[in-house]
Structure 1
Amino acid sequence: MRQHNHITLGIGAVAGALAISASAGATEQASSAVAFSGGYTVDVAGVVSGGLAKRGRVLDDLQIGADVDLEKAIGWKGARAHALLLNNSGGMPNDDAGTLQGVNNIEVSRQRARLFEAWVEQGFGDKASVLVGLYDLNSEFYANDSAGLLLAPAFGIGSELAATGPNGPSIFPSTALSARVRWTPNEHVYVQAAAINAHAGVLGDPGGVCTEFEHGLLTIAEAGWQGRGKVAFGAWRYTKKQPDLRDVTAAGYPAAKTAQGAYLLLERQLSGQDEDAARKTTAFARLGLSDGDTTAFRGGWQAGLLVERVFESRPDSAFSIGVNQAFLTGKFRANTLDEGQDLTRAESAIEVTYSDKIGPVTIQPDLQYVRNPGADRGVGHALVATVRFGVAF
């Protein structure tokens, strides 16, 4: 019942945008000012061998979005608005795999509806913009487009950043109030920075949108070059110190340390420069590091290949392979050793996936092999099989 109320709130916000559009002019103008989109994804996933348990899970993700051209709607020059609703339900396959980084990028710990994004962006010519609202950090920062087909969460954003903050940074499935600026002096170079409430929370989460900043801000900046590839460097830092994983004060409280890190993104198109070319191949690689005091992950890396239009006769066919490795901090390992658990230094995984479209439905079989799930020597290497079904509307 509570989920239905949040869906009504989110749809009400979109309906409000439509009402504003209608009041600005004719019905035809309003309809051209608003674009709706959506998609529904269902995953059937299970641990085939190793891990903590062998069984199947079903989980899903429903997204409904609206984009409003505010110039067409109400005459607000150079501005646009965006809203996105999520509803996630079903099982949690990582409970069976037992990994530290996860095996499925639509898995959530709380199954419910959420207003995931709601922001307004003001453009200044074609070179600069400012965005304010509930914003997905990973939509623009620490992202390789060519890694997007892979299902493992590590290929979305580095675990050393994803595991920070009181309840995670402003990424799926909960965002936070944010302000982002972006400058593109030419078609190849960009610079962007954001200040984000360190406490993520949206309508649908306990407490709803967090309007207080008692945990400070997550600040992040990224600069890069894009062309037939991408080279980018980013750095992030929390303005309020975080509890140290192991060190304590004289009074016995966790010592306060600065949570911070940096990352490097690389991407290169290897073949298929033409849009309609068969076997367009792109390689990607990433490296991230953290302070090692406030998060379980000292850093990690990911690398892989994306092949689009694998078969010339099937324009929607795509294949991807990726490897990732996350390194644990010495303090985290020392804490677990105190509890009688001797962890390895890293958790590693390889993923292979293929996607194609049959009619309106996208079908994507996927295999992941995780070495030392949870970095636990006592857990067998996990083989996780998934079939993803998706439809866009």
Structure 2
Amino acid sequence: MRGTFGGASTALALLFSTSAYAQDSEDPALDIGATYRADLAGVAADGRKMRSFGLDDLNIEANGDLERLVGWKGASFHVDVLNNLGDRPNDVAGTLQGVDNIEVASPKLRLYELWLEQKVGAATTLRAGLYDLNSEFYASDASGLLIAPAFGVGSEIAATGPNGPSIFPTTALAVRVEQRFGGAGFARVAVLNATAGALGDDRGSALDFHHGALLIGEAGVEKDGNKLAVGAWGYSQKQDDIVETDGAGDPIRRKARGAYVIAEKALGDQDGPFATSLFVRAGISDGKTTPYKGGWQAGVLAAHVVPGRDDSQVSIGVNQAYLSKGYRDLLRGDGIHTAAAENAVEFTFSDKITKFLTLQPDLQFIWNRGGDADARRVTVAILRATLEF
């Protein structure tokens, strides 16, 4: 899922919408929206005073029903243009997984998503174009309020590929097929360019599939806030081992693959006070081509937590990213006392203060950052604000 001005953050969001309506229809045939976020993040690491950072995230999206717009039966489209500016708080935090889900390595304007979807029968859809795999794969609604990137897509897949997989902020060409079963069952598969790259990225658009493809599938059941799903992924071409080399000194090529499981459970009346949802996710990988051999995330989301304030929410999440043997060997070579995992806990609260403004303070604590067992605890403080029209 995208989370995505952010780590310890203040986020401003500006939303507008322009809609074209079919006659006698309440749903828009065309929706155009813009969201602007601004984060103020504070990071305290290595026993030093907290340092502050500002980040920026602008999103412009368009969604259209092509049947009502141009008569193309069963078709729709989605366009998303992304612009990110600002600082990089994780340069001070020094974590492997990051602290803010809208922080980017290279601030700039990008074409983020551009896809068409076609209905095929009553229960099948085909989607093709530039596509964020985390919009549908390895996604959990109950973890969506949390700001740390680990609660978006599992780090063991986020660290793969020649330029990262097709996730925020750089996506890839993809074809996705989804089949629904009854009221709750689903199965979806996607084939994506192994090299992520879109218009505006440093490497430009990746159109040649030179490094092969990333294949991913997920199946399960989801209904009324409950979900149980399993997924698996792998690359069609081997990837470089992060440590081992051959006789010529070149990295040994390995199969990069993994699997994951997601469970979400809604408790009690979801329209009542303290409407609660639990989530747990876990993933594993080959442990040769990335710093991770696996990890897990778990937590709770509660809504309507302040009496009389229906938009108030609170969430707590914990996560561990288990380091691969090869990566720990690299750290030991630099004289670092390695830990088995990087560990973090996050607390966040969100409430709509006025009709237009939502504020979200956030606090994160990270232990064994970067896999260093002797590293001091890192503290990240965030305020995120969202302005909507």
TM-score, normalising length: structure 1: 0.90
1:334 paired to 2:329: yes
1:194 is aligned, of 158, 172, 190, to 190
Q: What is the CA-CA distance between 1:39 and the residue it aligns to?
A: 1.3
Map 1:353-364; keep pairs closer than 5 Å: 353-359=348-354, 360-364=356-360
Q: What is the CA-CA distance between 1:373 and the residue it aligns to?
A: 1.2
2:115 is aligned, of 102, 119, 144, to 119
Q: What is the CA-CA distance between 1:87 and the residue it aligns to?
A: 0.8
1:375 paired to 2:368: no
Partners of 2:136 and 2:349 lie apart in 1 by: 25
Q: What is the CA-CA distance between 1:248 and the residue it aligns to?
A: 1.9
Partners of 1:385 and 1:32 lie apart in 2 by: 39
1:298 paired to 2:289: no
1:251 is aligned, of 248, 254, 257, to 248
Partners of 2:81 and 2:142 lie apart in 1 by: 25
Q: CA RMSD in A?
A: 2.1
| Counterpart contact for 1:128–1:181, Cα < 8 Å | yes
Partners of 1:155 and 1:298 lie apart in 2 by: 17
Alignment match, 2:318: 323
Q: What is the CA-CA distance between 1:167 and the residue it aligns to?
A: 1.2
Partners of 1:214 and 1:196 lie apart in 2 by: 12
Partners of 2:194 and 2:124 lie apart in 1 by: 25
Alignment match, 1:4: none
Relative distance call for 1:28 and 1:258 in structure 2 (3 A) is same
Q: What is the CA-CA distance between 1:125 and the residue it aligns to?
A: 3.3
Q: What is the CA-CA distance between 1:32 and the residue it aligns to?
A: 4.5
Partners of 2:46 and 2:268 lie apart in 1 by: 37
1:309-366 per-residue CA deviation (whole Å, 9 max, x = no partner) reads 1124111100000000000000111122123223211100000000001121110000
Partners of 1:335 and 1:85 lie apart in 2 by: 38
1:96 paired to 2:92: yes
Q: What is the CA-CA distance between 1:372 and the residue it aligns to?
A: 1.4
Partners of 1:293 and 1:48 lie apart in 2 by: 32
1:284 is aligned, of 279, 286, 302, to 279
| Counterpart contact for 2:59–2:81, Cα < 8 Å | yes
SS, match of residue 302 in structure 1: strand
Runs of 4+ in 1 over 4 A off after TM superposition: 25-29, 49-53
1:386 paired to 2:366: no
| Counterpart contact for 1:53–1:97, Cα < 8 Å | no
Most deviating of 250-259 and 31-40? 31-40
1:47 paired to 2:43: yes
Alignment match, 2:342: 347
Relative distance call for 1:178 and 1:127 in structure 2 (3 A) is same
Q: What is the CA-CA distance between 1:126 and the residue it aligns to?
A: 3.2
2:215 is aligned, of 205, 219, 224, to 219
1:153-179 per-residue CA deviation (whole Å, 9 max, x = no partner) reads 000010000000011100000100000
1:275-303 per-residue CA deviation (whole Å, 9 max, x = no partner) reads x3221100000000000010110100000
| Counterpart contact for 2:243–2:326, Cα < 8 Å | yes
| Counterpart contact for 2:94–2:369, Cα < 8 Å | yes
1:310 paired to 2:305: yes
Structure 2: tracts of 5 or more residues without a match? 1-17
SS, match of residue 64 in structure 2: strand
| Counterpart contact for 1:143–1:156, Cα < 8 Å | yes
Q: What is the CA-CA distance between 1:208 and the residue it aligns to?
A: 2.2
Q: Say which structure is richer in helix.
A: 1
Relative distance call for 1:125 and 1:26 in structure 2 (3 A) is closer
Identical pairs, percent: 49
Q: What is the CA-CA distance between 1:73 and the residue it aligns to?
A: 1.1
Q: What is the CA-CA distance between 1:38 and the residue it aligns to?
A: 2.1
Alignment match, 2:74: 78
Q: What is the CA-CA distance between 1:27 and the residue it aligns to?
A: 11
1:270 paired to 2:270: no
Partners of 1:145 and 1:307 lie apart in 2 by: 12
Alignment match, 1:5: none
2:103 is aligned, of 84, 93, 107, to 107
Partners of 1:60 and 1:40 lie apart in 2 by: 8
Structure 1: tracts of 5 or more residues without a match? 1-17
Q: Which amino acid aligns with 2:82?
A: L
Q: Which amino acid aligns with 1:246?
A: V
Relative distance call for 1:110 and 1:283 in structure 2 (3 A) is same
Q: Which amino acid aligns with 2:119?
A: G
Partners of 1:223 and 1:284 lie apart in 2 by: 17
Alignment match, 1:205: 201
| Counterpart contact for 2:263–2:279, Cα < 8 Å | yes
Relative distance call for 1:53 and 1:342 in structure 2 (3 A) is farther
| Counterpart contact for 2:337–2:374, Cα < 8 Å | no
1:63 is aligned, of 56, 59, 81, to 59
Relative distance call for 1:237 and 1:53 in structure 2 (3 A) is farther
Alignment match, 1:241: 238
Q: What is the CA-CA distance between 1:262 and the residue it aligns to?
A: 0.2
Partners of 2:24 and 2:123 lie apart in 1 by: 30
1:61-86 per-residue CA deviation (whole Å, 9 max, x = no partner) reads 11110011100111100000000111
Most deviating of 247-256 and 158-167? 247-256
Q: What is the CA-CA distance between 1:378 and the residue it aligns to?
A: 3.6
Partners of 2:277 and 2:203 lie apart in 1 by: 42
